[in-house]
Structure 1
Amino acid sequence: MNLYKLARSLVSVVMYPLYRIEVKGKENIPEEGPVIICSNHISNFDPPVVGITSPRTIHFMAKEELFEKKGVGTLLKNIQAFPIKRGMRDRNALRNGLNILKEGEVLGLFPEGSRQKTGEIGEGLTGAGFFALRSEAVVVPCAIIGPYKAGKKLKVAYGDPIDLTEFRENKASAKEVTDYIMERIRQLHKFHE
Protein backbone atom coordinates (compact mmCIF):
# COMPACT_ATOMS: atom_id res chain seq x y z
CA MET A 1 0.00 0.00 0.00
CA ASN A 2 1.46 3.39 -0.95
CA LEU A 3 1.75 6.21 1.57
CA TYR A 4 -1.14 8.20 0.04
CA LYS A 5 -3.55 5.27 0.49
CA LEU A 6 -2.27 4.59 3.99
CA ALA A 7 -2.59 8.26 5.01
CA ARG A 8 -6.05 8.38 3.46
CA SER A 9 -7.18 5.32 5.45
CA LEU A 10 -5.83 6.69 8.72
CA VAL A 11 -7.32 10.17 8.20
CA SER A 12 -10.68 8.64 7.19
CA VAL A 13 -10.88 6.58 10.39
CA VAL A 14 -10.44 9.74 12.47
CA MET A 15 -12.25 12.42 10.47
CA TYR A 16 -15.39 10.68 9.22
CA PRO A 17 -16.77 9.96 12.71
CA LEU A 18 -15.29 13.08 14.37
CA TYR A 19 -16.89 15.54 11.93
CA ARG A 20 -19.77 13.28 10.81
CA ILE A 21 -18.70 13.90 7.20
CA GLU A 22 -21.47 13.70 4.65
CA VAL A 23 -20.43 13.54 0.98
CA LYS A 24 -22.66 14.48 -1.94
CA GLY A 25 -22.01 14.21 -5.67
CA LYS A 26 -18.73 12.31 -5.77
CA GLU A 27 -20.06 10.59 -8.90
CA ASN A 28 -19.42 13.98 -10.60
CA ILE A 29 -15.68 13.27 -10.48
CA PRO A 30 -14.76 11.44 -13.70
CA GLU A 31 -13.16 8.04 -13.10
CA GLU A 32 -10.30 8.80 -15.47
CA GLY A 33 -8.67 11.63 -17.36
CA PRO A 34 -7.45 15.03 -16.13
CA VAL A 35 -9.58 16.72 -13.48
CA ILE A 36 -9.26 19.95 -11.50
CA ILE A 37 -11.18 19.94 -8.23
CA CYS A 38 -11.74 23.53 -7.06
CA SER A 39 -12.96 24.02 -3.50
CA ASN A 40 -13.63 26.83 -1.07
CA HIS A 41 -11.10 27.05 1.77
CA ILE A 42 -12.19 27.35 5.42
CA SER A 43 -9.64 25.30 7.38
CA ASN A 44 -6.23 23.63 7.34
CA PHE A 45 -8.21 20.38 7.36
CA ASP A 46 -9.68 21.07 3.89
CA PRO A 47 -6.98 19.23 1.87
CA PRO A 48 -7.25 15.99 3.87
CA VAL A 49 -11.06 16.19 3.82
CA VAL A 50 -11.18 16.65 0.04
CA GLY A 51 -8.52 13.93 -0.23
CA ILE A 52 -10.55 11.35 1.71
CA THR A 53 -13.88 12.17 0.06
CA SER A 54 -12.62 12.00 -3.53
CA PRO A 55 -12.53 8.57 -5.16
CA ARG A 56 -9.26 9.49 -6.92
CA THR A 57 -5.78 10.48 -5.75
CA ILE A 58 -5.43 14.27 -5.67
CA HIS A 59 -2.24 16.28 -6.13
CA PHE A 60 -2.43 19.44 -4.01
CA MET A 61 -0.29 22.55 -4.08
CA ALA A 62 0.95 23.58 -0.65
CA LYS A 63 2.80 26.72 0.41
CA GLU A 64 6.54 26.35 0.00
CA GLU A 65 7.26 27.07 3.68
CA LEU A 66 5.63 23.77 4.67
CA PHE A 67 8.17 21.82 2.60
CA GLU A 68 11.00 23.44 4.55
CA LYS A 69 9.82 21.93 7.85
CA LYS A 70 11.66 18.77 8.81
CA GLY A 71 9.55 15.68 8.26
CA VAL A 72 6.54 17.66 6.98
CA GLY A 73 8.14 18.30 3.59
CA THR A 74 8.93 14.62 3.08
CA LEU A 75 5.43 13.61 4.12
CA LEU A 76 3.83 16.16 1.76
CA LYS A 77 5.90 14.92 -1.19
CA ASN A 78 4.94 11.32 -0.40
CA ILE A 79 1.23 12.18 -0.40
CA GLN A 80 1.47 13.82 -3.83
CA ALA A 81 1.65 17.49 -2.76
CA PHE A 82 4.01 19.95 -4.43
CA PRO A 83 5.24 23.41 -3.37
CA ILE A 84 4.12 26.82 -4.56
CA LYS A 85 5.67 30.19 -3.69
CA ARG A 86 3.01 32.53 -2.39
CA GLY A 87 2.56 36.10 -3.53
CA MET A 88 4.32 35.68 -6.87
CA ARG A 89 4.02 33.85 -10.15
CA ASP A 90 5.70 30.50 -9.56
CA ARG A 91 6.49 29.08 -13.01
CA ASN A 92 7.74 25.83 -11.54
CA ALA A 93 4.48 25.18 -9.66
CA LEU A 94 2.45 26.08 -12.77
CA ARG A 95 4.54 23.65 -14.84
CA ASN A 96 4.13 20.91 -12.22
CA GLY A 97 0.36 21.42 -12.17
CA LEU A 98 0.08 21.29 -15.97
CA ASN A 99 2.22 18.12 -16.08
CA ILE A 100 -0.06 16.43 -13.53
CA LEU A 101 -3.05 17.23 -15.75
CA LYS A 102 -1.19 16.16 -18.90
CA GLU A 103 -0.66 12.76 -17.25
CA GLY A 104 -4.43 12.45 -16.73
CA GLU A 105 -4.25 12.96 -12.97
CA VAL A 106 -6.31 15.07 -10.53
CA LEU A 107 -5.18 18.51 -9.37
CA GLY A 108 -6.76 19.92 -6.20
CA LEU A 109 -6.97 23.71 -5.89
CA PHE A 110 -8.30 26.18 -3.35
CA PRO A 111 -8.70 29.20 -5.66
CA GLU A 112 -9.06 31.66 -2.76
CA GLY A 113 -5.42 30.96 -1.91
CA SER A 114 -5.85 31.36 1.83
CA ARG A 115 -8.44 30.30 4.38
CA GLN A 116 -11.64 32.31 4.79
CA LYS A 117 -12.17 31.85 8.51
CA THR A 118 -15.59 33.57 8.44
CA GLY A 119 -16.94 30.77 6.23
CA GLU A 120 -17.77 33.31 3.50
CA ILE A 121 -16.50 32.43 0.03
CA GLY A 122 -13.92 34.99 -1.08
CA GLU A 123 -12.47 36.02 -4.42
CA GLY A 124 -10.48 33.46 -6.35
CA LEU A 125 -6.95 33.94 -7.64
CA THR A 126 -6.33 33.45 -11.35
CA GLY A 127 -4.48 30.14 -10.97
CA ALA A 128 -7.65 28.04 -11.28
CA GLY A 129 -8.57 29.78 -14.54
CA PHE A 130 -5.01 29.40 -15.82
CA PHE A 131 -5.01 25.62 -15.30
CA ALA A 132 -8.54 25.26 -16.69
CA LEU A 133 -7.69 27.17 -19.89
CA ARG A 134 -4.24 25.64 -20.44
CA SER A 135 -5.39 22.04 -20.13
CA GLU A 136 -8.14 19.73 -21.32
CA ALA A 137 -9.10 19.01 -17.71
CA VAL A 138 -12.65 18.67 -16.46
CA VAL A 139 -13.28 21.23 -13.68
CA VAL A 140 -15.35 19.96 -10.74
CA PRO A 141 -16.51 22.50 -8.14
CA CYS A 142 -16.48 21.46 -4.49
CA ALA A 143 -18.11 23.14 -1.48
CA ILE A 144 -17.05 22.42 2.08
CA ILE A 145 -19.81 23.43 4.45
CA GLY A 146 -18.57 23.64 8.03
CA PRO A 147 -17.93 24.22 10.80
CA TYR A 148 -15.16 21.83 11.80
CA LYS A 149 -16.58 21.04 15.22
CA ALA A 150 -16.48 17.60 16.80
CA GLY A 151 -19.88 15.94 16.57
CA LYS A 152 -21.31 18.54 14.14
CA LYS A 153 -22.02 17.51 10.56
CA LEU A 154 -19.50 18.62 7.93
CA LYS A 155 -20.75 18.49 4.34
CA VAL A 156 -18.59 18.06 1.25
CA ALA A 157 -20.48 18.56 -2.00
CA TYR A 158 -19.10 17.97 -5.49
CA GLY A 159 -21.04 19.73 -8.25
CA ASP A 160 -21.58 18.94 -11.91
CA PRO A 161 -18.46 19.38 -14.05
CA ILE A 162 -18.18 22.92 -15.40
CA ASP A 163 -18.47 23.26 -19.18
CA LEU A 164 -15.68 25.61 -20.24
CA THR A 165 -16.15 25.19 -24.02
CA GLU A 166 -17.51 28.71 -24.48
CA PHE A 167 -14.73 30.24 -22.36
CA ARG A 168 -12.07 28.40 -24.36
CA GLU A 169 -13.65 29.33 -27.73
CA ASN A 170 -14.01 32.99 -26.73
CA LYS A 171 -10.44 33.12 -25.44
CA ALA A 172 -11.63 34.22 -21.99
CA SER A 173 -9.13 35.47 -19.44
CA ALA A 174 -7.98 33.33 -16.50
CA LYS A 175 -9.76 35.81 -14.19
CA GLU A 176 -13.11 35.40 -15.98
CA VAL A 177 -12.85 31.61 -15.72
CA THR A 178 -11.83 31.74 -12.04
CA ASP A 179 -14.74 34.10 -11.27
CA TYR A 180 -17.14 31.67 -12.94
CA ILE A 181 -15.70 28.69 -11.01
CA MET A 182 -16.05 30.63 -7.73
CA GLU A 183 -19.67 31.47 -8.58
CA ARG A 184 -20.39 27.78 -9.13
CA ILE A 185 -18.80 26.97 -5.75
CA ARG A 186 -21.00 29.64 -4.11
CA GLN A 187 -24.14 28.19 -5.72
CA LEU A 188 -23.19 24.69 -4.61
CA HIS A 189 -22.52 25.91 -1.07
CA LYS A 190 -25.87 27.69 -0.91
CA PHE A 191 -27.74 24.67 -2.28
CA HIS A 192 -26.28 22.27 0.32
CA GLU A 193 -26.27 24.60 3.35
Structure 2
Amino acid sequence: MTFYTFARGVVNIVLSPLYRIDVSGLEHFPKDGGVLLCTNHIDNLDPPVVGITAPRPVSFMAKAELFNVPILGNIVKNVRAFPVKRGLSDREALRNGLKLLKEGNVLGLFPEGTRSKTGELNKGLSGAGFFALRSNAYVVPCAIIGPYKPFKKLKVVYGKPIPMDELRLNKVSAEEATAVIMSHIQSLIDKHK
Protein backbone atom coordinates (compact mmCIF):
# COMPACT_ATOMS: atom_id res chain seq x y z
CA MET A 1 0.00 0.00 0.00
CA THR A 2 1.36 3.43 -0.94
CA PHE A 3 1.36 6.37 1.45
CA TYR A 4 -1.11 8.09 -0.90
CA THR A 5 -3.59 5.20 -0.58
CA PHE A 6 -3.15 5.09 3.20
CA ALA A 7 -3.57 8.87 3.58
CA ARG A 8 -6.60 8.84 1.28
CA GLY A 9 -8.25 6.17 3.42
CA VAL A 10 -7.59 8.05 6.68
CA VAL A 11 -8.81 11.38 5.29
CA ASN A 12 -11.91 9.71 3.84
CA ILE A 13 -12.82 8.20 7.23
CA VAL A 14 -12.62 11.66 8.83
CA LEU A 15 -14.01 14.03 6.19
CA SER A 16 -16.76 12.01 4.45
CA PRO A 17 -19.05 11.68 7.48
CA LEU A 18 -18.10 15.10 8.93
CA TYR A 19 -19.13 17.01 5.80
CA ARG A 20 -21.61 14.46 4.40
CA ILE A 21 -19.75 14.60 1.09
CA ASP A 22 -22.06 14.02 -1.87
CA VAL A 23 -20.18 13.17 -5.08
CA SER A 24 -21.70 13.20 -8.55
CA GLY A 25 -20.48 13.03 -12.14
CA LEU A 26 -17.81 10.36 -11.61
CA GLU A 27 -19.04 8.66 -14.80
CA HIS A 28 -17.54 11.62 -16.72
CA PHE A 29 -14.03 11.06 -15.35
CA PRO A 30 -11.73 9.42 -17.93
CA LYS A 31 -10.53 6.00 -16.78
CA ASP A 32 -7.06 6.48 -18.24
CA GLY A 33 -4.89 9.04 -20.00
CA GLY A 34 -3.74 12.43 -18.79
CA VAL A 35 -6.41 14.49 -17.00
CA LEU A 36 -6.21 18.17 -16.09
CA LEU A 37 -8.67 18.45 -13.20
CA CYS A 38 -9.73 22.08 -12.68
CA THR A 39 -11.65 22.95 -9.51
CA ASN A 40 -12.92 26.06 -7.77
CA HIS A 41 -11.20 26.86 -4.47
CA ILE A 42 -13.31 27.72 -1.39
CA ASP A 43 -11.42 26.16 1.53
CA ASN A 44 -8.05 24.75 2.65
CA LEU A 45 -9.73 21.34 2.73
CA ASP A 46 -10.40 21.38 -1.03
CA PRO A 47 -7.27 19.38 -2.01
CA PRO A 48 -7.97 16.47 0.38
CA VAL A 49 -11.67 16.50 -0.56
CA VAL A 50 -10.82 16.26 -4.27
CA GLY A 51 -8.19 13.65 -3.42
CA ILE A 52 -10.72 11.36 -1.71
CA THR A 53 -13.53 11.86 -4.23
CA ALA A 54 -11.65 11.64 -7.55
CA PRO A 55 -11.59 8.08 -8.91
CA ARG A 56 -7.86 8.26 -9.71
CA PRO A 57 -4.86 9.56 -7.73
CA VAL A 58 -4.42 13.33 -8.15
CA SER A 59 -1.14 15.29 -8.10
CA PHE A 60 -1.62 18.89 -7.01
CA MET A 61 0.57 21.91 -7.48
CA ALA A 62 1.00 23.29 -3.97
CA LYS A 63 2.51 26.58 -2.87
CA ALA A 64 6.24 26.13 -2.32
CA GLU A 65 6.07 27.42 1.28
CA LEU A 66 4.15 24.29 2.36
CA PHE A 67 7.14 22.08 1.56
CA ASN A 68 9.22 23.89 4.20
CA VAL A 69 6.76 23.32 7.07
CA PRO A 70 8.03 20.58 9.43
CA ILE A 71 6.04 17.31 9.12
CA LEU A 72 3.46 18.87 6.76
CA GLY A 73 6.16 19.29 4.10
CA ASN A 74 6.85 15.54 4.10
CA ILE A 75 3.16 14.67 3.99
CA VAL A 76 2.56 17.03 1.05
CA LYS A 77 5.50 15.47 -0.86
CA ASN A 78 4.24 11.95 -0.18
CA VAL A 79 0.73 12.62 -1.48
CA ARG A 80 2.07 13.41 -4.98
CA ALA A 81 2.07 17.22 -4.67
CA PHE A 82 4.84 19.30 -6.19
CA PRO A 83 5.87 22.89 -5.43
CA VAL A 84 4.98 26.02 -7.36
CA LYS A 85 6.38 29.47 -6.59
CA ARG A 86 3.36 31.74 -6.59
CA GLY A 87 3.44 35.13 -8.27
CA LEU A 88 6.17 34.07 -10.70
CA SER A 89 6.30 32.15 -13.92
CA ASP A 90 7.69 28.96 -12.35
CA ARG A 91 9.10 27.06 -15.33
CA GLU A 92 10.06 24.04 -13.23
CA ALA A 93 6.47 23.66 -11.97
CA LEU A 94 5.13 24.04 -15.52
CA ARG A 95 7.52 21.34 -16.76
CA ASN A 96 6.54 19.02 -13.89
CA GLY A 97 2.84 19.52 -14.64
CA LEU A 98 3.23 18.82 -18.36
CA LYS A 99 5.33 15.73 -17.63
CA LEU A 100 2.63 14.35 -15.30
CA LEU A 101 -0.05 14.86 -17.95
CA LYS A 102 2.07 13.35 -20.75
CA GLU A 103 2.68 10.28 -18.57
CA GLY A 104 -1.10 9.79 -18.28
CA ASN A 105 -1.56 11.06 -14.72
CA VAL A 106 -4.13 13.39 -13.15
CA LEU A 107 -2.97 16.95 -12.44
CA GLY A 108 -5.22 18.84 -10.04
CA LEU A 109 -5.35 22.64 -10.32
CA PHE A 110 -7.24 25.44 -8.65
CA PRO A 111 -7.18 27.92 -11.56
CA GLU A 112 -8.10 30.85 -9.28
CA GLY A 113 -4.67 30.39 -7.68
CA THR A 114 -5.96 31.09 -4.18
CA ARG A 115 -9.08 30.55 -2.09
CA SER A 116 -12.13 32.65 -2.81
CA LYS A 117 -12.96 34.75 0.26
CA THR A 118 -16.62 35.05 -0.77
CA GLY A 119 -17.23 31.55 -2.11
CA GLU A 120 -17.90 33.11 -5.54
CA LEU A 121 -15.78 31.94 -8.45
CA ASN A 122 -12.92 34.36 -9.15
CA LYS A 123 -11.13 34.92 -12.45
CA GLY A 124 -8.81 32.04 -13.35
CA LEU A 125 -5.08 32.45 -13.94
CA SER A 126 -3.53 31.51 -17.27
CA GLY A 127 -1.80 28.36 -15.90
CA ALA A 128 -4.89 26.20 -16.43
CA GLY A 129 -5.14 27.32 -20.05
CA PHE A 130 -1.41 26.74 -20.53
CA PHE A 131 -1.68 23.09 -19.42
CA ALA A 132 -4.91 22.56 -21.37
CA LEU A 133 -3.40 23.87 -24.62
CA ARG A 134 0.10 22.38 -24.28
CA SER A 135 -0.99 18.84 -23.49
CA ASN A 136 -3.46 16.46 -25.04
CA ALA A 137 -4.95 15.77 -21.63
CA TYR A 138 -8.66 15.62 -20.95
CA VAL A 139 -9.77 18.79 -19.17
CA VAL A 140 -12.29 17.93 -16.45
CA PRO A 141 -14.12 20.72 -14.60
CA CYS A 142 -15.07 20.15 -10.97
CA ALA A 143 -17.19 22.22 -8.58
CA ILE A 144 -17.01 22.09 -4.80
CA ILE A 145 -20.24 23.51 -3.46
CA GLY A 146 -20.11 24.34 0.24
CA PRO A 147 -19.86 25.82 2.69
CA TYR A 148 -17.77 23.49 4.84
CA LYS A 149 -20.05 23.13 7.86
CA PRO A 150 -19.95 19.96 10.01
CA PHE A 151 -22.84 17.59 9.24
CA LYS A 152 -24.17 19.78 6.40
CA LYS A 153 -23.94 18.37 2.90
CA LEU A 154 -20.88 19.34 0.82
CA LYS A 155 -21.23 18.65 -2.91
CA VAL A 156 -18.40 17.68 -5.24
CA VAL A 157 -19.52 17.63 -8.88
CA TYR A 158 -17.36 16.35 -11.75
CA GLY A 159 -18.34 17.63 -15.20
CA LYS A 160 -17.86 16.18 -18.68
CA PRO A 161 -14.42 16.73 -20.22
CA ILE A 162 -14.28 20.11 -21.99
CA PRO A 163 -13.67 19.82 -25.75
CA MET A 164 -10.32 21.56 -26.29
CA ASP A 165 -9.43 20.50 -29.86
CA GLU A 166 -10.97 23.57 -31.52
CA LEU A 167 -9.28 25.90 -29.05
CA ARG A 168 -5.92 24.20 -29.69
CA LEU A 169 -6.50 24.39 -33.47
CA ASN A 170 -7.39 28.08 -33.33
CA LYS A 171 -4.31 28.77 -31.21
CA VAL A 172 -6.25 30.70 -28.59
CA SER A 173 -4.32 32.29 -25.72
CA ALA A 174 -3.86 30.58 -22.35
CA GLU A 175 -6.08 33.31 -20.83
CA GLU A 176 -8.91 32.53 -23.28
CA ALA A 177 -8.62 28.79 -22.64
CA THR A 178 -8.73 29.43 -18.88
CA ALA A 179 -11.88 31.56 -19.34
CA VAL A 180 -13.57 28.64 -21.12
CA ILE A 181 -12.59 26.28 -18.28
CA MET A 182 -13.89 28.73 -15.66
CA SER A 183 -17.22 29.06 -17.49
CA HIS A 184 -17.65 25.26 -17.28
CA ILE A 185 -16.90 25.30 -13.53
CA GLN A 186 -19.38 28.17 -13.06
CA SER A 187 -22.05 26.20 -14.97
CA LEU A 188 -21.57 23.24 -12.60
CA ILE A 189 -21.88 25.54 -9.58
CA ASP A 190 -25.04 27.19 -10.98
CA LYS A 191 -26.65 23.87 -11.87
CA HIS A 192 -25.95 22.04 -8.59
CA LYS A 193 -26.04 24.62 -5.80
TM-score range, shorter chain: over 0.9
* CA distance, structure 1, for counterparts of residue 159 and residue 117 of structure 2: 23
Larger deviation, residues 79-88 vs 69-78? 69-78
TM normalised by structure 1 equals 0.99
1:24 match:
24
Q: Does 1:90 align with 2:63?
A: no
Instruction: Show CA shifts across 1:55-81 (max 9, x none).
Output: 100000000000011121111111000
Partners of 1:61 and 1:109 in 2: how far apart?
7
5+ residue gaps in structure 1? none
Whole-angstrom distance in 1 between the partners of 2:173 and 2:115: 24
Residue equivalent to 1:62: 62
Sequence identity percentage: 61
The runs of 5 or more residues in structure 2 that have no matched partner are none
Query: Considering only aligned residues, what root-mean-square deviation do their CA atoms show, in Å?
Result: 0.5
Deviation at 1:117, TM superposition (A): 2.2
Aligned residue for 1:123, secondary structure, equals: coil
1:41 and 2:56 correspond: no
The residue number in structure 2 matching 1:137 is: 137
The residue aligned with 1:118 is: 118
Give distance in 2, aligned partners of 1:74 and 1:102.
25
SS where residue 56 of structure 1 aligns? coil
**Map of 2:170 onto structure 1:** 170
- Which residue is equivalent to 1:106? 106
The match for 1:15 is 15
Q: Secondary structure at the match of 2:136?
A: coil
In 1, Cα distance between equivalents of 2:182 and 2:102: 24
TM-score (norm 2): 0.99
2:115 maps to a residue whose letter is R
Answer yes or no: is 1:81 the counterpart of 2:95. no
Distance 2:11 2:71 in 1: 18
The ranges of structure 1 where at least 4 consecutive aligned residues each deviate by more than 6 angstroms after the TM superposition are none
Give the counterpart letter for 1:172 in structure 2.
V
Match of 2:189 in 1: 189
Distance 1:189 1:118 in 2: 14
Separation (CA, whole Å) in 2 of partners of 1:12 and 1:53 = 8
SS at match of 2:61: strand
